[in-house]
Chain A
Amino acid sequence: MSTESETNRLFIQIDDLVREMTDEEYAEYEARNANAGVVAGAE
């Protein structure tokens, strides 16, 4: 299953609507991942 669009932008679901992330949402996603570290049990 594809997780990226032709613009390589990830998808977000809001209620019943799935759409590409906006620039702001994508930046938030990237920032969150950058600060996430390692999940417990996976180290």
Chain B
Amino acid sequence: MSFPVFASGDVLNASDMNGVGLWLVKTQTIATSPAPTSVVVSGAFSSDYENYLITVTGGTMSVDTALGIQLGSTTTGYYGGFIYGTSAGVGPSLATDNNAAKATYVGGGSNSTSAYFQVLAPNLAKYTRIIATGINYSTTYGSYSGTEASATQHTAFTLIPFSGTITGGTIRVYGIRN
């Protein structure tokens, strides 16, 4: 077998399967009605994986703004920096989370709401890091690095628009093999 290209009928050898990097942990569809102001995804993090990739695709936010994340029930102690510019040529600029109630910038956009970010060590009794790229809402484009500064071991997260609601779209959680 020429890993990682598999042919029909190939035996799935442990050595090959143990080399698979991403495993789909959970898929969740965001409701369309009634429109939620936040979406909780439970059972996302566990001791199976230290690090995760989370994507949000195809949703609609009622306001063309940022999409944030809260880990578990932790509503304080988020720190981070969002470096951004606008398509009109303004920037680069910096916005920060300084002991905020959530990581404010992991995605966004009213038209085809999207997010693509990594969460590092959410289920370990250590700080959790959040890395988000390709953030776009309105004319704002940027990247975010953040920390949830507690030793809380999280199993869930909540997606929270900066304002308004989010409807439709799909959340996917992938575990990155240790």
Residues of chain A touching chain B, judged by Cβ–Cβ distance below 8 Å, are 1-3, 5, 10-16, 18, 21, 28-29, 31-33, 35-36, 39-42
Whether B101 contacts A13 by the Cβ 8 Å rule is no
Q: Would A32 and B39 be within 8 Å (CB), given that A13-B30, A40-B142 are in contact?
A: no
Q: Is the CB of A40 within 8 A of B33?
A: no
Task: Give Cα distance in the complex from A16 to B36, angstroms.
Answer: 11
* Interface size band for B: 35 or more
Q: Number of contacts between A and B (CB, 8 Å)?
A: 88
For chain B, residues 99 to 157, give those with C-beta under 8 angstroms from any C-beta of chain A: 100-102, 104-105, 137-140, 142
B39: chain A residues at CB < 8 Å are 12-13
Q: Which residues of A lie under 8 Å from residue B46 when comparing CB positions?
A: none
**Pairwise interchain contact A5-B34, C-beta atoms closer than 8 A:** yes
Within the complex, which residue of B35, B38, B93, B160 is in contact with A40, where a contact is CB–CB below 8 Å? B93
Contact residues in A for B162 (Cβ distance below 8 Å): 36, 39
